[in-house]
Structures are given as structure tokens and as C-alpha cells.
Amino acid sequence: MKPTYRSTYNEHLIPQFWQSLIHPDYWAYSSWLAIATKYRRTSLGLLWAMLPTAVFVVVLGNIYSHLMGYPIEQYLPYLGIGYVLWRFMIHVINDAVTTFHLHKAFIMEGRIRLTDFVLSSFAKAGFYLFFGGVIVLCVFLWSPILHVSALWTLLLTLPLLVINMAWVAVCIAMLGARFPDIQEVIGTVLILGLLLTPILWPIEKFPADSVRGIVVRFNPAFHLIDVVRAPLLGRMPETVSIVAVVAMGIIGWVLASILFRRYARFVPLWV
Amino acid sequence: MEEVHAIAHGVTLRVPHFVQGEQRASSFASTLLAAAMARPRREYREILSGVTFEAREGDRVALMGRNGAGKTTLLRVLSGAFKPTSGHVEVRGSVQALLNLGLGFHQDATVRENIFVRAAAMGMGAGPVASQLDAILDFSGLGHAVNHRLSTLSSGQRMRLGFAISTSVQHDIMLMDEWFGAGDAEFVEKARDRMVDRVAGSSIVILASHSFQMLRRICNLGMVLDAGEMVYFGPVNDAIDEYKKIYQATPEYLARRKFEAENEALVTQRIVARASSDAGDDDAA
């Protein structure tokens, strides 16, 4: 059967995404190549994908555990997990915002699904998450208060984070293609975000019933991180976090689907 | 057996583009200031209006028109990159768009890695690429450089590589923006043979070009675009005549012809002078 292209057919996000997922040849290979070649001429090679995280966690962990008055055995894992997840999120967002512009030549060729480009920004972030995971694993093995058995919760919690980041990436990629301002906005927000999100400091500083506590809990990044982080540290995440993450996932995907259905056809004209 | 076809019906494409306001800058400093301060205006422009045609199995369509007439845009609508604002396009059969040969190379990756990534971008799986790898390297003459970084290749070598990958597989429909024929003498010949082969193997070819001679040789149908509108669609020789009428009506062309008519003696004199000086060179050689 010959493939048939009809211009009247409007792409739906979820089937497109699925098609991209089952044909990973292009996006997986090209994003892996981008990482592998980035460090190719360095002497340490792929170690560079791990070193910055390791340095950040070890150095900042030591200083801040003292500053905040927490035992380092407790603080280092908290910081490590939070930071690695945060890094994953900013990688996804930073890459998504420019992904359509970067792949302009491919889009003009008309052969590849737009979701492939979203996934290529995702795959890169995923590789870094994996390398960050190695650091976290080291922290796990080192810390006396953590149990490696807690790692199985990742099977349940990590998909929640990834599903949420996927719709965020789709929306940001489309907005970034249309409005160059988004790139500037995101640069600003992400710097603030690291300080405003409970990564360096624990959420217990702000109880949920205080005014500040309520404000802090409006930060979606906190819920996304804590749903993954808390079970690893042997706590249950707050109920509000679980509800928020599930609700965001559902609403976000509906929103992304509508945006994609309505505006995907304009992306080649915008970039 | 299903028939391969490419149909466009009333295809209109309106695109937003940004226009900088008129600048009446008088001095150097105010030009600089205006560059930073002037906000672009968003305007809509119709770059294709109501293009309707049908290409059936065996058709070779010549796409003609002056620069900016919408030839490339029409090819991009057919390849699926742009969606028409109104009207529709239906294309049955696998499509190969030879619009950009340098597409998607990673500068720091090796030639081999680039072949894989580029082929993946073209929708080939890893298996078929591996079986084509030797053929691609052989054709591009880069077998010795397979593990070199792409950035160490010359631009001509890159062009060869892009050409070899893009044309490694036969598709039902070929969309081409100008005929490819650059490279050193040996490669030009190989590339020409390959192109003739691919064109012969395709069910439909749509080729934008300015070379009448080549279009007459390859195509049976011709389409003339002018300012986004399809002025003519029919047998290629008639289409070429139509196209000539359009550019012969342009002010520049008329002015040149007028000059030549009024100064016939002068022009003849120049031609004679050039011919005799050429002949003189020949004698000297």
C-alpha cells in the first residue's frame, strides 16, 4: 500500500507522539550523537556529563548542610535528588523552547513529525538524568540513613514526572516557535526557580498551614520534584503534591492536545 | 496496483511575515537608533493563490516562474512542510524532496555517524542504512574518510555525501528545486547518471528550473507561476512560451530590447568587435 498524504488531515498530538515513540531512529540517535560528540574532543569524555552534578552536590551539600544546620547524611541525598531532577526539568524546557528553530531545515523538508523534535530535546535531558542518576546512586550507597530498596518507587513516580514534562515541552516548544520572548522569559524564571523551589532548603521550613507555606506550594516544580524525591527518602509525599501532579498531567495533556491540533500546522511558517 | 498521484486543488497559502517600518534615517547615528527601536509589523502575504493541478503516473512537471513566484513554496506544500491555508493537496506514493542537500549534518560526528543520522531523518531504519553504507561511501568517494569528522571535509565533499545519501533510495515521487550538478568533473558525470536513473525510476517528477533546454528534454508538462498564481498548466513547450511572455513583459526586459532596437548599429558593432577579438585570440593561440 502506498503512503498517502492529505493536507486536510489535522495531526492529533497523542497519535503523533506515539508514532514518534515507536520510531525513535532519528531523535534518539541524533540526540545521543549530539551529547557524544560534544565531549568527544575532551580528555575526560563522557565523565563531563557527570562531573558538574557531582561537584555541585558535594560542594554545595557540604556548605549548605552546615549553613542550614542539618546533618550531612540527611541533607546530601535531599539536595542531590532534588538537583538532579531540577536539572532534568530545565534541560527539557531549555531545549524545547528552541527545538523548532534549531530544526528549521528539517521542518522545511516536511518529512519528520514535529513531536520528534520535542522528543529529541527530551532524549538529551533524559541522558543527563541518567548520568545524574549515577551520582544519586553513589549518594545512596554512601548515606547510612537511606535504603537502596527505596529505588523501586521510581518505577511509579518517575513516569509521573516524565508525563508532566512531556506536555510542558510540547507547549513550550510551540510557544517558543511563535514568540521569541519566551526564551528570555524562561531564562529569567529558571534562575529564580532554583532558589524558590525547595531544592537547597527543605519544605518543612514552611508548614502547609502558614501563608508562606501556601504560597510556596503554588510552585508546580515543587510538587513534581517532591513526588519523586520524598519516597526515595522514605517519606510519603504530601497528599496535595500527588493530587497536583495527577491533575496537572491530565489538564496539561488536554491543553497541549488542543494547542497542537490548532497550531501545529503554523509551526513551519513561524520558524 | 494503486496509482501514484499528486493533486493540488485551489491551494492558497497566506503567511505572516514581519516588515520593518519605513525608515527615513538621515544620519549614521539615527540609522543605528532606528535599527534598535523600530518594531516590526506583522503582515499577511499570499504567496500561493488558488493553484490547481493534477500529476498522474508518468508525468514530469516543469515548474517555472521568476524568482519569488512561489516555486519552492509549492514544492514545500507538496512535500508536506507547509499546509495550505485553503484548498488541499493529496499525494499518494513515497516522496523524496531534493531541496536541501546539506541537511542535518553534525559537524563533530564522523562521516559514518552522519550517514546514519541523515538516513534516519529521511525515514530509513538502521538495517537498510547499514546495507547501503558501502554504496553511499563508494558513490561519494569518501570511503577513505569514513571515520573522519565531518568538519574536516571540504564543502564539495559534503555536497557529494549529501547527494549520495539523498539519492540512495528510489522513491515514487521526486520534488526538485533546480537540478543538482556541482562538483568536480568526475563527480558531475556520476551525479548526472544517478539523477537520470532516479528520474527514470520515479512515477512523478516535479522539477523547478530555469533551464529551458533541460526542461524540454525531461518534462512533458509545464506549470508557470507568477506572483503565486498559476498562469499556465499544460504541455511543456507551450508552458515555456507562456513563461517567456511573462518575463518579456517586464520593464527591465523591455528597456533592454528598446535599447537594442534603437542602437542596432552600436550593438552590431560591439558583437562584431567581440567576435573579431575572440578570433584574434584564437589565432594567437
pLDDT of residue A159: 92
Chain A CB contacts of B125 under 8 Å are 25
B57 in contact with A, Cβ within 8 Å: no
In this complex, do B92 and A3 lie within 8 Å of one another by their Cβ atoms?
yes
Which residue of chain B comes nearest to A4, CA vs CA?
B92
More confident residue, A2 or B56: B56
Tell how strand B86-92 and strand A4-6 pair up.
antiparallel
Confidence of residue B19 (pLDDT cuts 50, 70, 90): confident
Confidence of residue B195 (pLDDT cuts 50, 70, 90): confident
Reported ipTM? 0.78
Which of B88, B92, B94 is opposite residue A8, by nearest beta carbon?
B88
Q: Is the pLDDT of residue A58 over 60?
A: yes
The upper half-sphere exposure of residue A168, i.e. CA atoms within 13 Å in the direction of its Cβ, equals 23
Cell numbers 513516580 correspond to what residue?
A: A157
B6 in contact with A, Cβ within 8 Å: no
pLDDT of residue B285: 36
> pTM, whole model, 2 decimals?
0.83
In this complex, do B80 and A38 lie within 8 Å of one another by their Cβ atoms?
no
Looking at every residue in chain A, the average pLDDT score rounds to: 88
CB-CB contact of B79 with B97 (8 Å)? yes
In this complex, do A7 and B16 lie within 8 Å of one another by their Cβ atoms?
no
Domain residue limits, chain B: 253-280
Distances (CA, A) of A240 to A206, A227, A232, A246: 15, 10, 18, 10
Give the DSSP letter string of B174-207. Answer: EEEES----S-HHHHHHHHHHHHHHHHH-SEEEE
B169 in contact with A, Cβ within 8 Å: no
Nearest CA-CA distance, residue A5 and chain B, Å: 5
Q: Average pLDDT of B54-62?
A: 91
Q: Is the pLDDT of residue B1 over 60?
A: no
Nearest CA-CA distance, residue A163 and chain B, Å: 25
For an interface test with A, give the residue of B9, B83, B94, B171 to mutate (most A CBs within 10 A).
Answer: B83
Which of A4, A25, A105 is opposite residue B104, by nearest beta carbon?
A105
Q: Is the pLDDT of residue A9 over 80?
A: no
pLDDT of residue B283: 44
Q: Is the pLDDT of residue A108 over 90?
A: no
- Between CA A171 and CA A256 the distance in angstroms is 6
Give B233's contacts (C-beta < 8 A, 6+ positions apart). B53, B221, B222, B223, B224, B239
Q: Is the pLDDT of residue A89 over 90?
A: yes
pLDDT of residue B60: 92
In this complex, do A25 and B79 lie within 8 Å of one another by their Cβ atoms?
no
Q: Is the pLDDT of residue A42 over 50?
A: yes
Confidence of residue B180 (pLDDT cuts 50, 70, 90): low
Joined together, the cell numbers standing for residue A181 give 520572548
Looking at every residue in chain B, the average pLDDT score rounds to: 83
Tell me the three-class secondary structure of chain A, residue by residue. Answer: CCCEEECCCCCCHHHHHHHHHHCCHHHHHHHHHHHHHHCCCCCCHHHHHCHHHHHHHHHHHHHHHHHHCCCHHHHHHHHHHHHHHHHHHHHHHHHHHHHHHHCHHHHHHCCCCHHHHHHHHHHHHHHHHHHHHHHHHHHHHHCCCCCHHHHHHHHHHHHHHHHHHHHHHHHHHHHHHHCCHHHHHHHHHHHHHHHHCCCCCCHHHCCCCCHHHHHHCCCHHHHHHHHHHHHHCCCCCCHHHHHHHHHHHHHHHHHHHHHHHHHHHHHHHHC
pLDDT of residue A165: 94
For an interface test with A, give the residue of B9, B12, B108 to mutate (most A CBs within 10 A).
Answer: B108
Distances (CA, A) of A16 to A96, A117, A256: 17, 12, 12
Which residue of chain A comes nearest to B1, CA vs CA?
A1
In this complex, do B80 and A269 lie within 8 Å of one another by their Cβ atoms?
no
Q: Average pLDDT of B159-164?
A: 86
In this complex, do B94 and A3 lie within 8 Å of one another by their Cβ atoms?
yes
Q: Taking Cα atoms as reference points, which of A217, A9, A36, A31 lies closest to residue A125?
A: A31
Nearest CA-CA distance, residue A176 and chain B, Å: 16
Q: Is the pLDDT of residue A227 over 90?
A: yes
Q: Taking Cα atoms as reference points, which of B219, B113, B124 lies closest to residue B166?
A: B124
Question: Which tens digit of pLDDT belongs to each residue from A158-197?
Answer: 999 999 999 999 999 999 998 888 988 998 888 888 888 8
Beta bridge partners of residue A25, listed in sequence order: none
Q: Which of A30-34, A61-65, B257-261 is the least confident region?
A: B257-261
Instruction: State what percent of residues in chain B have pLDDT above 70.
Output: 92
pLDDT of residue A1: 64
pLDDT of residue A223: 92
Question: Which tens digit of pLDDT belongs to each residue from B196-207?
Answer: 888 888 899 999
Chain B CB contacts of A8 under 8 Å are 88
Q: Which of A130-144, B36-50, B212-226 is the least confident region?
A: B36-50
Cβ contacts below 8 Å, chain A against chain B, sum to 100
pLDDT of residue B170: 86
Question: Which tens digit of pLDDT belongs to each residue from B97-117?
Answer: 887 777 778 888 889 988 888
Q: Is the pLDDT of residue B68 over 90?
A: no
Q: Is the pLDDT of residue B284 over 50?
A: no
In this complex, do A33 and B88 lie within 8 Å of one another by their Cβ atoms?
no
DSSP-based three-state secondary structure for B250: coil
Joined together, the cell numbers standing for residue A83 give 538537583
